[in-house]
Amino acid sequence: MIYSPQRFGVQSGDALAEEAGSTDHPLRSVVAGEFHARPLAALPAPQRGSHLAMLSGEGDFASDFAHLVELCRRRGVAAPEPTKHFSADFGSFFLKWERHGEFCTYSFYRPGSFLHPFEETALALVPPDWLKSIPGRRLVAVHLALESGDAKLRTPGELTEYFDEESLVGSHLSGGAATAWTDFRIHADGFSRILISGANLDPLQAGRIVQRLLEIETYRMMALLALPLAHTLSFQISRIEVRMSEIAGRLAEIEGLEETRDVLAQLSRLWVEIEGITARASFRFDATRAYYDVLQQRTQRLREERIEGLQTIGEFLERRVAPAMGTCAATARRIENLARRLARASSLLNTQVDVALQAQNRDLLASMDRRAGMQARLQRTLELISICALTYYLSGLLGVALRALNRSGLEFDVELITGAAIPAMFTLGWIGLLWARRSIVRADLKHDGGAFRGIDKREGG
């Protein structure tokens, strides 16, 4: 049964907007259509069904839809526009097709009475070559039989003919309106089995119960898809945890640059490994949580009542699926904890490196200060030597000048005058040196001050 606005006399969004004199939001029709997506199929009893869920990936919508269009072409059914859900009567069978995030479901229904519920299934009416070439890999395959309300309720002995006695579960559904049995096992034909006895079901009620049971089987398998991955990753995660503990024990004992580089290289390799695990597992574990939530919702809506001596469907799923989901959740937490531990170890190593660099910088600055002090003392010594040398040369020049004057007829005591002039010449040299030093300092301060004023102007200061 497909919802049609025209069938119920509902105007289109554009027509309503034009009549109201307003403009609709571009997503109004899309959002409103989600409430009517994947409509129920009305299934009058007796009915047999076959349900397939093919794991084809998120990006393979085109091939899934093209395969549906091919079946429509073969059977002369009008092909739909690109959509994610479609249902139509193909004559000998009814098809309900849905495209989900990473999988696609095909539900075939075959009305009519039957003696053996799981013989001559609905798939027998589907073209075999088309069936074999469905895109993706089969994850869920279920045969379902819906018996009419006047059918005699099957005894436990009759049920063991179709189900495994040890795994058989069943319950009264929807306040006793129907009874369902299954064993959640894959039988010799590669299909699971669900048997429904519809005591007081109208076609829409039957369709609702059938859809919920098929969704439970589908989402159960999709949720459990992460369990083998969790088991595989647990060994790798344990190995990484041991290596992380070893590295954490070494952090307090690291000495020298080479050992620091070695630990950093080990942390980098672990980071690459953890990132690979995260990329491999994050989507699957997130999807598992979502599938498990849907599974629990569908199970609660069955409104089960116990059949004496049997587990209900909800009890069986809680006992078998909940521990698996706990394992997946624990594995996901271990991966997150590994990433956090690695981040903490890297941060601690960086802190140690920073402390070591600060110590090296402190020692370097102290060494530079000592060298600067030595250079200053050496410079003062050289300045003193330079003044002495200058005084020596000046005194020599003064002596030459005085001796020249003596030859011209003037009488001077050359040694006395030269000796007396030495202190004055030394003092003049020292004063000249101080003046030159102060001139250089004033020039440097003037240059530095100009640079700072330029920076202040550029920064608006």
**What letter represents residue 236's amino acid?**
Q
**CA atoms 58, 60, 66, 72: torsion sign:** negative
Q: What pairs with residue 98 in β-bridges? A: 85, 105
pLDDT band per the 50, 70, 90 thresholds, residue 4: very low
303: alpha, beta or left, given left = phi > 0 and alpha = psi -120 to 50? left
Model pLDDT for residues 203-227, shown as the tens digit of each residue: 999 999 999 999 999 999 999 999 9
pLDDT at residue 458 is higher than 60: no
Confidence of residue 8 (pLDDT cuts 50, 70, 90): very low
Instruction: Flag whether pLDDT at 3 surpasses 80.
Output: no
Q: In what order do the strands lie in the sheet with 94-99?
A: 85-89, 94-99, 103-111, 47-55, 137-147, 192-198, 178-182, 169-173, 305-306
**Domain ranges for the chain:** 1-34, 38-221, 226-362, 379-458
CA dihedral 136, 142, 147, 153 (to 10 degrees): -170
Rg over alpha carbons for the chain, rounded to the nearest Å, is: 46
Q: Which two tokens stand for residue 293?
A: 């939530």
Say yes or no to pLDDT of 39 above 80: no
**Residue 433 confidence (pLDDT):** 78
- What's the pLDDT tens digit per position in 252-265? 676 766 777 777 78
Give backbone dihedrals phi and psi of 51, rounded to 5 degrees, phi first. Answer: -125, 130
DSSP 20-60: HT----TTHHHHHHGGGSSPPPP-PSSEEEEEEEEE--TT-
Q: What is the DSSP string of 278-347?
A: HHHHHHHHHHHHHHHHHHHHHHHTT--EEPTTSB-HHHHHHHHHHHHHHHHHHHHHHHHHHHHHHHHHHH
Top pLDDT among 168 and 460 is at 168
DSSP 166: T
> pTM score > 0.75 for this model?
no
* pLDDT (tens digit per residue) in 346-381: 777 777 677 667 777 888 888 888 888 888 888 878
Over the chain, what is the mean pLDDT? 83
Alpha helices in 183-312 (DSSP H): 203-224, 226-251, 257-300
Provide the 8-state DSSP code for 123.
G
